[in-house]
Structure 1
Amino acid sequence: MRHFPVFLDTRGKSVVVSGAGETAVAKLRLLMRTEARIAVHGAEPAEEVVRWAAEGRIALTEAPLAEVGGDARLVYAANADPVEDARVAKLGREAGVLVNIVDDLTSDFITPAIVDRDPVTVAIGTEGAAPVLARKIKAEVEELLPSSLGLLARIGQSFRARVEALDSRARRAFWTRFYFERGPRAVAAGSEAVSETLETMLTEGVAATKGFVHLIGAGPGDPELLTMKARRLLHEADVVIHDRLVPAEILELARREARVIEVGKIAYGPSWKQEDINALLVREAGAGATVARLKGGDAVLFGRLDEEIEALEAAGIGYAIVPGITSASAAAATIGQSLTRRGRNASLRFLTAHDMNGFADHDWRDLAKPGATAAIYMGVKAAAFIRGRLLMHGAATATPVTCVENASRPDQRVIATTLIDLPEALAEACPTGPVMILLGLEPRAALAAAELNEFKEAL
């Protein structure tokens, strides 16, 4: 780390900016958010600089910088002229003041990208190596932090001493609920409503620290496909209870202090019983913990969600459902296809082969029709059964089928085949990760090649 990040107190001090043109304008927009006195020196000032001076936000001297005063904390050389910037830098350093020459890494300090939620401030730096990356990170952080966070922080500060009487877990739960749940909802009604919300939360006593379960769809595996809400709740949880297929990259987003518990289910192998998972959720939340229950894909699709909800409701424990990106969507995106297409299929079936009794009862005749499309979860071991049922009901042997293993992950694999060859193709590929079977779809590249061949044959 070449540049050490610090937050400099500018209250009652001066910041000197040499240059009053466009180069200086961007720095001034940022500096005017501080409590510093801003002195700008430069001939032919930009229109914005003149306006800011007229509004009393800066002090403008329409002449080159002659000296650096003793109360100056920082000097910015923003003349867009290497000779003049070097002269100004010399003046600043002789006065013992830190100097920044705009876009020059020989500066004494650099100005980071800043997310401003005053009094909450996030500074992002890349040692000057990748300003574009810093801007991207800033945009992502801006999305994560509610615009109301600054107001909430200022109001919350006045209540801090009263909340300190709670134990550490209760304090964390209190502030989490205030800053990210109840506080933002109160902001719309004004600052008085926010204070009232805090007073109400303080009088709730034990109820304010009652456990809660977030039933979260963790997506198909790529951490970047987590929703922003899922990512935030995962970081705030005291306990993370997850399926076997939730990857380590997602679990690493949990707080370092959080307990992480795997409740894996392995097809045809040793697994946690659903009733034991239900009991674990009730036990942890009943003890006051905020629980993140991570389920692969979308929690509302083939995740046995209702059984866990019923157990929580029976125990009087609050819960919320956070939907995620289902593996079917990720698999279709991988092969460049949509799951529905005008003129091809107006409906889409989501099937799971995990329960063979229910699986056998599907309307196979309808699925065998030309253009029918289905996303089949957990269907590797049922591939021969799928083929037999569809062929029995008139499906074409050449019906395209695409199997996507580990959709969205770095080790994802696409197995493109036809209905007649489906079991053999899967046996040859020998997948070890979760597989999504897309009936009626083939990779866009393969489809384009086939259409090209048909066109050539027609000629």
Structure 2
Amino acid sequence: MRLYPLFADLNGLPVLVVGGGNVAERKVAALLEAGAVVRVGAPHLLPALAEQVADGRIAHIGGDFEPSWLDDVWLVIAATDNRELNAEVAAHATERRILSNVVDDPALSRFQVPAVVDRAPLTIGISTAGAAPMFARRVRETLESHLDPAIGPLVALAQRHRKAIVDAFPDLAARRRFYDALYDGPVLQLLRHARHAEAEAALLDALDHGAPPVPGSVVLVGAGPGDPGLLTLAGLRALNRADVILHDQLVSPGVLAMTRRDAERIDVGKRGGGRHTPQSEINALLLRHARAGRYVVRLKGGDPFVFGRGGEEMQYLRRHGVACTIVPGVTAAVACAAYAGVSLTHREHAQSVRLLTAHCKDSMDTLDWAALADERQTLAVYMGLAQLSHLTERLLAHGRAPSTPFALIEYGTLPQQRVLRGELHALPALASMNHIEAPALLIIGQVAMMADELGWFGETVDTANAELAA
């Protein structure tokens, strides 16, 4: 069956919904959103619908269906669980040349209600002509993940200035280029950052002086801890738009596979004992590509502002006049703890969490070890695998109990995740004995015990050898 695509303006028009149950309630909500004057015909109504009748938002026609219910309506939806009744409603509507929809019954329907992607005033309707509505839902999910939420405000802004745009660009090709510049340039970027007045000013300036060349920019994107499913929608949109992507070693292959296929990818990862890209070189690459007019994504494992040098890179770019924004990522402490079944805070065990890095001995010497030894807190240690002995010694020396539980999470959120559990005094020996590799996140505190009970992902290492390590 082929359907004629149509968006109906129902504002102020009477529409009938036959049925008073859950399905009818959903249909009424959508019709009210479109500004329709809704009448609901049914012997009985759900409490939520009855409340809307009492509030005057909808009208109720009681009793069994009568053809007179269709008097002067523009549209009818049959939403009962009685197919014979639904067929009767549809037949009477057809006699009167009124479009009708029977919910979940395309054979009886004269129009289909599509799955909708709402970026008002931009609306995308998706239909399978009633053949497989679940597939329409999946297509909608895909579009939702790719469409920038700021596209709606951009369409509204363009609508508000449509006459001025048409007058300024009577040539259709020139007008198309102007709209492209709105989408690709600073106007959409400003709307994305909720700077509406500046976006409107940029549009008006482009009308007066012509759209300027799209400037280069950098966005710092947090890739999360490894599982591609933990990449945010905003991060995915940035990756799909990127001309150049500078990524760290900790960005997983699964996340890199989601990047735009024709984007230039540059590995600037730092590897212990191996190739090392100096921060100054990374800064220079970001600046060079941005000044060449490219949209640059700096893709970092975890969150750029948690031990990711995101602040340093943003400062550098801003000082050199390059626009730089940030898309936060799920930081490793939160994600790895969740995948290991560890609640970082707990009313009975920990009222605070400390995030610390222990990638080198010199940086550890600056820490407040007396404060870190407090029992009623959780320590989440990044990049600490090489300093486990020093870390353990310092905590024990400042009063942390030898029996304090720990959870050492290797390759957190990835299929090869392992969780090593034990007591603090045995931490270095257990990690060595079980050949734990980086990346690994260490959690110290009473909450680490929860991994035994609540762990749900990956492998948990048997700690029966704890006595040997003691």
In the superposition, the TM-score normalised over structure 2's length comes to 0.70
Distance 1:313 1:29, change over 3 A: closer
- For residues 68-91 of structure 1, give each alpha carbon's deviation from its aligned partner in whole angstroms, at most 9, with x where no partner exists: 99xx99874445432232345556
AA of the residue aligned to 2:277: W
Deviation at 1:437, TM superposition (A): 1.0
Amino acid at match of 1:332: A
Work out whether residues 332 and 339 of structure 1, in 8 Å CA contact, stay in contact via their aligned partners in 2. yes
Deviation at 1:247, TM superposition (A): 2.7
Matches within 5 A, 1:233-252: 233-251=238-256
Please report how far the alpha carbon of residue 435 of structure 1 lies from its aligned counterpart in structure 2 after TM superposition: 0.6
CA distance in 1, matches of 2:161, 2:421: 57
Cα distance in 2, alignment partners of residues 431 and 169 from structure 1:
51
Partner of 1:219: 224
Alignment of 1:320-335 (within 5 A): 320-335=325-340
Counting only pairs closer than 5 Å after superposition, residues 229-378 of structure 1 correspond to structure 2 as: 229-251=234-256, 253-255=258-260, 258-339=263-344, 348-364=353-369, 367-368=372-373, 370=375, 373-378=378-383
Using the alignment, how far apart are the partners of 1:221 and 1:204 within structure 2?
46
CA offset at residue 222 of structure 1?
3.8
1:403 Cα deviation from its structure 2 partner: 0.6
* Structure 1 residues 171 and 26, CA gap change in structure 2 (3 angstroms): closer
Distance 2:94 2:437 in 1: 63
Partner of 1:101: 102
Shift of 1:382: 2.4
The residue aligned with 1:19 is: 18
Secondary structure in structure 2 of the residue aligned to 1:283? helix
Q: Give the secondary structure class of the aligned counterpart of 1:246.
A: coil
Aligned residue pairs, count: 432
**Counterpart secondary structure, 2:385:** coil
Taking only aligned residues, the RMSD between alpha carbons, in angstroms, comes to 5.1
- Unpaired runs of 5+ residues, structure 1, are 55-61, 188-192, 449-459
Residue matched to 2:121:
119
* Counterparts in 2 of 1:6 and 1:300: CA distance versus 1, 3 Å: farther
Q: Confirm or deny: 8 A CA contact 1:17 1:24 kept in the other structure.
A: no
2:164 matches 1:154: no
Q: Give 2:113's aligned amino acid.
A: T
The Cα shift of 1:272 comes to 2.5
Q: CA deviation at 1:354?
A: 2.4
* Structure 2 stretches lacking a partner, 5+ long: 170-174, 455-470
Look up the match of 1:443: 449
Q: What fraction of aligned residue pairs are identical, expressed as a percent?
A: 34
Deviates more, 1:213-222 or 1:19-28: 19-28
| TM alignment of 1:73-222, pairs within 5 A | 76-78=77-79, 80-89=81-90, 100-104=101-105, 106-107=107-108, 110-123=112-125, 127-129=132-134, 144=149, 148=153, 151-152=156-157, 154-155=159-160, 157-158=162-163, 162=169, 164-165=176-177, 172-174=184-186, 176-177=188-189, 179-181=191-193, 184-186=194-196, 195-202=200-207, 209-222=214-227
CA distance in 2, matches of 1:20, 1:342: 48
1:422 Cα deviation (Å)? 1.9
Pair 1:122–1:361, CA change in 2 (3 A): same
Specify the SS of the correspondent of 1:266.
Answer: coil
With 435-444 and 247-256 compared, the bigger mean Cα shift is at: 247-256
Taking a change above 3 Å as real, the CA distance of residues 343 and 211 of structure 1, as seen in their structure-2 partners, is: same
Indicate how the Cα distance of structure 1 residues 292 and 203 shifts in structure 2: closer, same or farther if over 3 A, else same. Answer: farther
2:214 & 2:411 partners in 1: Cα distance?
38
Cα distance per residue 1:199-256 (max 9 Å; x no partner): 0355576866222222233332344544554444444443332212223444455455
Preserved contact between residue 404 and residue 445 of structure 2 (Cα < 8 Å):
yes
C-alpha distance in structure 1 between counterparts of 2:352 and 2:42, whole Å: 68
Alpha-carbon distance between aligned partners in 2 of 1:408 and 1:311, rounded to the nearest angstrom: 32
Instruction: Measure how far apart 1:285 and its partner are.
Output: 0.9
The residue number in structure 1 matching 2:5 is 7
Q: Distance in 2 between matches of 1:5 and 1:145?
A: 30
Q: Is the 8 A contact 1:10 1:73 kept in 2?
A: no
